[in-house]
Amino acid sequence: NAGVTQTPKFQVLKTGQSMTLQCAQDMNHEYMSWYRQDPGMGLRLIHYSVGAGITDQGEVPNGYNVSRSTTEDFPLRLLSAAPSQTSVYFCASSRTHTGSVEAFFGQGTRLTVV
């Protein structure tokens, strides 16, 4: 019962470095998304995908890149890390992107940019 798996759980980056946060789901879900969680600001949508080969920007996409080559995987790339990207990142998936469907979340990646 893996569900949504995120790696790594913790990461420290230096300003300017790049890295990829991994997200995989084994539920054959159509819809996947990335959020960042910051104190007092809730979860804000970074990017999302409604299916393999289709991605779109969310509320706060600047500095991040995504791709969806398979149904299972939805990696998030930080192109050149900045201290403002220090946050907790959550990947989520759901069966579809319409209607009252439940979103399943990963355990999160705590990223610190120094």
Partner 1 sequence: AQRVTQPEKLLSVFKGAPVELKCNYSYSGSPELFWYVQYSRQRLQLLLRHISRESIKGFTADLNKGETSFHLKKPFAQEEDSAMYYCALSGVSGSRLTFGEGTQLTVNP
Q: Which residues bind partner 1 (CB under 8 A)?
A: 4, 33, 35, 40-45, 48, 58, 90, 92, 94, 96-100, 102-103, 105-108
Instruction: Give min distance, CB of 21 to partner 1, in A.
Output: 15
104 torsion bin: left (phi>0), alpha (psi -120 to 50), beta (else): beta
Q: Over the Cα atoms of the chain, what is R_g? A: 13
CA–CA separation, 54 and 98 (whole Å)? 16
Nearer to partner 1 by Cβ, of 28 and 42: the residue is 42
Nearer to partner 1 by Cβ, of 75 and 108: the residue is 108
Nearer to partner 1 by Cβ, of 19 and 45: the residue is 45
Tokens of residue 35, six digits: 């959020």
Of 50, 5, 8, 46, nearest to 23 by C-alpha is: 5
Instruction: Give min distance, CB of 80 to partner 1, in A.
Output: 26
Instruction: Give min distance, CB of 18 to partner 1, in A.
Output: 26
